[in-house]
Amino acid sequence: MGRQRKTIRNKRKIGVSNYQNQVLDASEARTQISKNFSRELKLTIVSIFIVVIIMISSAFAIFSSIQKSKNYNTLTVGTLQIDFNDKDEGTGNIINLNGAYPESDEAGLKEEPYIFKITNTGTLEASYKVKIVDDLETIEKDNCSTNLLNKENIRVSINGETPFTLSEKQTLDNVVKTGTLKPNQSEKYEIRIWIDENSSNEVLGKHYHGKIVVEGVNTKNNGSESSSSSVNKNIVSAYTYNQETGQPNYCVTGNESTCEETTCYQNKDEESCPAGTIINYKVNNEKEVRFHVVQDDGETMRLQSQKDTLNNNAWYSTDPTPLPVYDTGDNSHGPTTALDALESATADWTNVKDQTYSIGSSSNNTNLGYSGCHLSGGYNASGSIPVCDSETYSLSRDSVKARMITVQEAHKVGCAYDNKTCPIWIYNFLKQSTKSGGTDDDKNSKYYYWTMSAFDGESKYAWAVYNQGRVYFYNLPPEGNSVRALVVVSKNNI
């Protein structure tokens, strides 16, 4: 019996021991589970934090990851050598704003710049232009052509100068700087680029891929072409005009990707630059204006601004503001009100030639011809053209920078009374011009812009270029119309 009790006691001890072990194992398990949970919770929190940071950082980033492009660190364009700063294995001429946020101009001017140096390694003076253009290759690789940041949100400063918005340079072929270097001379540039602090939430997740391009101006000297030292350095660029859609060199405004550059202005033959040729010209040291060639006289070119120089200006008025509707007007005074306003607006265009002209007083002795014009077939006659043979008014101006186009000049490039007879360039950018084949509307423009010519049938009319692609006479008093500057520039250096 004693041995049996002992056996029972031993079993109990074993049972208690097993129970204790089970209790200890459960406690350790709970501790281990707690540790695992804590670690996983920390990892989860850290992961969420990282994701949030990435989302916030990329929300305003306008560039995706860009491969480094060591091939772009040194470029050669003709006799120009362009060396891009390669700090920390940088991206050469590839613009990169990873993780950029909208910021003020003051902050943007403190950003790390893209630095490059242009050196003329030739023996002759060489001109160049600096552009900021889309990096189409990267856009294609990134597959983001439908998700690009509007250039109105991108701010740029060159060498610490006053910042500008990148979209402002689109009408100037994306040219942001021009210059000329003597042999062995160098010029260093620092370009800073950032997102405008006034950008809206629309920039969220948008991309922009760009690069800095330096182009040399053609300096060849064959036949009648000029050497670079004699060509007018204020001609920034020029493009062959072609309004035929579907053509490989289609180019109406100079903004089309199919535009082809031309150096026609280096040729001293008449009409070497056909009417419509697009010219980007520095009218003074600060301002570039896009023009179209009206006439190439060989040594000089007559250029008309692509867009309005002024709007809401009367042709003639005794009051600076447009005349009231009930006032019939009097075209016998000439377009003095419009010309006065135009001359004031262009007085600082120091890089264009002074014009001295007269119109209307004995046409054989004037350089603009007759001032009064009528329709060959009368009112509303299809196929009518303007006929200018009347001295409706007489006017002379000395040493002015700009005037308006005459009906004779408009007719010479194709304009008539019927709709769409004018080439697109001459009526483009008028209000609702796209309804008649134009490519761009300017809501701030008018339906017409004035010419120099009076209508010789009734004193209340003057001729204007109309948004339907024709020339037409228009009432003087009801309201002001637009005014576009016609200037004369030399092909030679000035």
φ and ψ of 157, to 5 deg:
-135, 140
Residue 100 clears pLDDT 70, i.e. is over it: no
DSSP string, 287-303: -EEEEEEEEE-SSEEEE
pLDDT score of 266 = 87
Q: What 3 state SS string does 22-67 have?
A: HHHHHHHHHHHHHHHHHHHHHHHHHHHHHHHHHHHHHHCCCCCCCC
Smallest CA-to-CA distance from 329 within 133, 479, 175 is with 479
Residue 72 clears pLDDT 70, i.e. is over it: no
Please state the rounded mean pLDDT for residues 356-380: 81
| Pairing assessment for the beta strands 186-196 and 114-120 based on DSSP bridges | antiparallel
Confidence band of 50 (pLDDT split at 50, 70, 90) = low
Please state the rounded mean pLDDT for residues 306-333: 75
483-to-57, 74, 341, 403 alpha-carbon distances in Å = 48, 46, 9, 9
Beta pairing partners, 474: 462
Residue 306 clears pLDDT 50, i.e. is over it: yes
| Pairing assessment for the beta strands 186-196 and 372-375 based on DSSP bridges | unpaired
Smallest CA-to-CA distance from 212 within 174, 246, 179, 181 is with 174
pLDDT score of 227 = 47
More confidently predicted of 54 and 133: 133
Residue 4 clears pLDDT 60, i.e. is over it: no
Count CA within 13 A, CB hemisphere, residue 5: 2
Please state the rounded mean pLDDT for residues 292-314: 94
Alpha-carbon Rg of the chain, whole angstroms?
Answer: 35
Residues 233 and 214: their CA atoms lie apart, in Å, by: 16
Block residue for tokens 């043979």: 389
pLDDT score of 208 = 78
What would the pLDDT profile of 377-423 be if each residue is shown by its tens digit? 776 667 788 999 999 999 999 999 999 999 999 999 999 988 889 99
Q: Which amino acid is at 5?
A: R
Residues 270 and 375: their CA atoms lie apart, in Å, by: 29
pLDDT score of 441 = 83
Would you call 385 helix, strand, or coil by DSSP? coil
CB 405: neighbour CB atoms within 10 A?
24
Q: Element (H or E) spanning 7, and its range?
A: helix 2-59
Residues 294 and 484: their CA atoms lie apart, in Å, by: 12
Beta pairing partners, 40: none
Please state the rounded mean pLDDT for residues 353-381: 81
Structure tokens given for 373: 């014009």
Mean pLDDT of the chain: 79
pLDDT score of 47 = 62
Confidence band of 99 (pLDDT split at 50, 70, 90) = low
Confidence band of 457 (pLDDT split at 50, 70, 90) = confident
Range among 170-184, 216-230, 291-305 rated most confident = 291-305
- Specify whether the CB–CB gap between 77 and 121 falls below 8 A: no
- Specify whether the CB–CB gap between 260 and 154 falls below 8 A: no
Q: What 3 state SS string does 213-234 have?
A: EEEECCCCCCCCECCCCCECCC
Range among 10-19, 281-290, 356-365 rated most confident = 281-290
Q: Which amino acid is at 23?
A: V
Please state the rounded mean pLDDT for residues 44-51: 60
Burial of 427 (0-12, 13-18, 19+ CB in 10 A): buried
Residue 347 clears pLDDT 90, i.e. is over it: yes
Residue 56 makes CB contacts below 8 A (sequence gap 6+) with none
- Specify whether the CB–CB gap between 169 and 176 falls below 8 A: yes
Least confident of 204-213, 304-313, 420-429, 431-440: 204-213
Beta pairing partners, 303: 293, 487
- Specify whether the CB–CB gap between 226 and 492 falls below 8 A: yes
CB 115: neighbour CB atoms within 10 A?
15
Confidence band of 97 (pLDDT split at 50, 70, 90) = low
pTM: 0.57
